[in-house]
Copies of this chain bind each other. A is one copy, B any other.
């Protein structure tokens, strides 16, 4: 990354909030690629180590070929994932995280860890919510 700003600009970041929320910014689709149903899981799966297509497919539970290919294309296009082709027989294609992808995966990982940690709390909240909902019905 060789942008002009420095991370110390974080305070100027409040401006970005408006941008993201105002949906006229180009970052929304990208955000959805990395947070979407499969995008996040692919990044997490690649976090450990690079993988080939079917290996990746096994690593991420429940993803179809179509969705995996689609997700990988999007992430490659956005520059989060690198694709390396070895033109052998049988073909061998390795997917790995770029530095940017690696940073992003790390942040996603923290988010997921936070979430897993909070899950007991969440489940209890869901139960009381459902109990209250069925009580008034």
Residues on A close to B: CB < 8 A?
Answer: 1-3, 5, 7, 10, 13, 16-17, 19-24, 26-27, 30-32, 34-37, 40-41, 44-45, 47-48, 59-62, 76-79, 100, 103-104, 107-126, 129-130
For the A-B complex with A21-B59, A77-B126 known, give 20 more contacts whose Cβ atoms are closer than 8 Å.
A2-B121, A16-B116, A17-B44, A17-B47, A20-B44, A23-B62, A26-B119, A26-B123, A31-B112, A32-B37, A35-B111, A78-B122, A78-B125, A78-B126, A100-B118, A100-B122, A103-B118, A104-B118, A107-B107, A108-B111
| In contact, B117 and A3 (Cβ under 8 angstroms) | yes
Taking the full assembly, how many copies of this chain does it contain? 2
Q: Is the interface of A mostly helix, strand, loop or mixed?
A: helix
Output the residue of A1, A23, A79, A120 with the most chain B CB within 10 A: A79
